[in-house]
Structure 1
Amino acid sequence: MANYVKISSLGPAPCVIEATVPAEEAVGRMIAHWERMLGFVLPDKPDLIVLPEACDRPSKSSYPTERRMEYYRVRGNRIRDFFAGIAAKHGCNIVYPSHMQAEDGSWRNTAQLIDRQGRVTGTYHKNHLVPNEYNLNGILYGKDAPVFECDFGRVACAICFDLNFDELRLKYVQAKPDLIVFPSMYHGALMQNYWAYSCRAHFVGSIAGLPCSIVSPLGETVAQSTNYYPYVTTTVNLDCAVLHIDENGAHFRAIKQKYGSKVKIHDPGLLGSVLLSSETDEFTVREVISEFKLELLDDYFSRSLTHRCAPGHMEP
């Protein structure tokens, strides 16, 4: 059945706070900054809001490390609790990325998932740090790649430098999340599109000071913020599947003749694959796949590899 999810991604440049501003006042300014930014997307009633990496860290250009640690001490969980209040009030999920201190005093670069009731339901620790995050700031590398169960689907996370490493991407290829969220300071360019297609998942990039984007499982950018407005909201349908045209394509006409606009078959061109989605509450995309005996892209690739290695199929 159609699973429409409205997603907002925000990527303003880091909030500039002067080094002379006391930590208590800096926390108040940061909350006011995000209250203002959220005001641009909350009227659209999003199901999910994604914020950029270390979203509540004052700009490094004006707020030095020694001041930042005092700021973090005063901040504690107050800004997270602010976002939790917003999530509960507006009935939305929020991805809150921040530098977080563990109970043993060590630090992590994290993304916390806050649900519609304002509860933290999952935490991801950045797996692949830039070395100086450890060398200069004592942040430890994360080791797990959890996938979080949300009321609209399964969500995975990558943060900034993570996007350069196949180790993490391949974990998500196996886990098959519906959506990957990417809070970052680095844009990633084609890597965003590659991750989306490789993982057969929608992808949301929230990039501080750079365009935010929402990418389909075909690797197509379907929505993007602009140089004028550092936020974007769009609706995606998570009840979808990626299929290769080979063999499946013979059924597409019959599918459209039977179901019309209740099924969407989107061809991006040049890729040889399409995105099939159910646009109705009457049936799921998996039921259409079963009815017409369609083959998922990954299953087709797997069958092709097996066929290649069958006895007598490969040159001596």
Structure 2
Amino acid sequence: MSRHLKVASLLFTQAHLSGEPNAREAVLRGTRESLNSVAGLGLDLVVTSESIEALAQNVEQAEDPARPGSLLQTYMEFAARERCHVAGSVKLRVGGRVHNSAAFISPKGDFLGAYHKTYLTSSEIQEGLTPGKGPVIVDASWGRLGGAICFDLNFDELRLGYAALRPDLIVFPSMYHGGFMQKIWAYSCRAFFVSALYFEGGGILDPLGEPLALTDCYNFAAIARINLDRAVLHLDFNRAKFPEILRKYREEVRIVIPPNLAPAILYSESEKRSAMDIVREFDLKLLDHYFEESAAANARARA
């Protein structure tokens, strides 16, 4: 059945404060203002940029999830007031170690968990940060939520670890855009990908890496309504069945075919049936199953 949610990525607009003596208070104030700019929009998830922890905290100012400081309290208060999830950039102190983290906050303002940046830069290690241990999945009220931060995007081991865990959505608070790497992560993990950056061009990608909404010089928040009830298919053996599916279910189904790639996403827009119900009804072949069968057939042909 359809699982719609409204997602926002916030552009960090205070990069000019780097190195300034009043950066911490200015960034905290700016973070509250940025969050308030999307208040009242009925959002289900808001993602903030890694620049916040970089400019607003040093290692000594890392926050304990059990005793939230100014930054965690900002995220928690907004989440509770707006009844939405927040994936907020913050330095966290856990078990005596400090991490560059994405803190996951529930619509009640509770701390659900955190992803700790797995691949720190050398300067972060010298600063005293500790790398995380790999992929983390948090069960949000609407689905499976994972995270990656900045430099992480360059490491295949982390991406493949997430692909095996089948997240619905991956957040990417960052001070690095990643370019086509964002698309690779979305496609490889078959997940929506939400980046929050300190320059324009962050936003929301669908599970085939197609942009749904991006920040730019006029839009400091990228906002999109997405549907997590999806099936990623290959066009082979499936495309001929699409007209019959569309005729039968009309507005209760949506099929998106991006250019030049060969897969498609089938979304159920109905409360009566899921995307996988339609897959089973029409004997459609999932993209991953198609690749697995093709690899096995080639292995047999080589024997």
Same fold (TM > 0.5)? yes
Q: Answer yes or no: is 1:143 the counterpart of 2:140.
A: no
- Letter of the 2:27 partner, please give it: M
CA distance in 2, matches of 1:70, 1:178: 34
CA distance in 2, matches of 1:155, 1:17: 30
Q: 2:216 aligns with which of 208, 216, 226?
A: 226
Q: Answer yes or no: is 1:173 the counterpart of 2:163.
A: yes
CA distance in 2, matches of 1:123, 1:143: 12
Q: Answer yes or no: is 1:215 the counterpart of 2:227.
A: no
Q: Answer yes or no: is 1:121 the counterpart of 2:112.
A: yes
Q: Give the match for residue 188 of structure 2.
A: 198
Question: Taking structure 1 as reference, are residues 300 and 18 closer, same or farther at Cα in structure 2, changes over 3 Å only?
Answer: closer
CA distance in 2, matches of 1:228, 1:287: 41
TM-score when scaled to structure 2?
A: 0.92
Q: Answer yes or no: is 1:306 the counterpart of 2:303.
A: no
- Letter of the 2:72 partner, please give it: R
CA distance in 2, matches of 1:2, 1:100: 35
Q: Answer yes or no: is 1:261 the counterpart of 2:251.
A: yes
Q: 1:44 aligns with which of 41, 58, 71?
A: 41
- Letter of the 1:237 partner, please give it: N
Q: Aligned to 1:43, what secondary structure does the other structure show?
A: coil
Unpaired segments ≥5 residues, structure 1:
60-64
CA distance in 2, matches of 1:218, 1:124: 23
Q: Give the match for residue 249 of structure 1.
A: 239
Q: CA deviation at 1:32?
A: 2.2
Q: Give the match for residue 91 of structure 1.
A: 83
Unpaired segments ≥5 residues, structure 2:
none
Compare 287-296 and 27-36 and name the one that shifted more.
27-36
Question: Taking structure 1 as reference, are residues 170 and 69 closer, same or farther at Cα in structure 2, changes over 3 Å only?
Answer: closer
Q: CA deviation at 1:27?
A: 5.3
TM-score when scaled to structure 1?
A: 0.89
Q: Answer yes or no: is 1:10 the counterpart of 2:1.
A: no
Q: 2:263 aligns with which of 266, 270, 273?
A: 273
Q: 1:130 aligns with which of 121, 131, 136?
A: 121
Question: Taking structure 1 as reference, are residues 20 and 27 closer, same or farther at Cα in structure 2, changes over 3 Å only?
Answer: closer
Question: Taking structure 1 as reference, are residues 109 and 70 closer, same or farther at Cα in structure 2, changes over 3 Å only?
Answer: closer
CA distance in 2, matches of 1:233, 1:300: 33
Q: Aligned to 1:282, what secondary structure does the other structure show?
A: coil
CA distance in 2, matches of 1:140, 1:306: 41
- Letter of the 1:228 partner, please give it: Y
Identity of aligned residues (%): 35
Q: Aligned to 2:6, what secondary structure does the other structure show?
A: strand
Question: Taking structure 1 as reference, are residues 72 and 289 closer, same or farther at Cα in structure 2, changes over 3 Å only?
Answer: closer
Compare 209-218 and 174-183 and name the one that shifted more.
209-218
Q: CA deviation at 1:56?
A: 4.2
Q: Aligned to 1:301, what secondary structure does the other structure show?
A: helix
Q: CA deviation at 1:69?
A: 5.2
Superposition RMSD in Å? 2.2
Stretches (4+) displaced over 3 A: 17-21, 26-31, 68-73
Equivalent pair of 1:54/1:98 in contact (CA under 8 Å): no
CA distance in 2, matches of 1:69, 1:243: 45
CA displacement, residues 138-189 of structure 1 (integer Å, 9 cap, x when unaligned): 1111113111111111011000000000000001111110101100000001
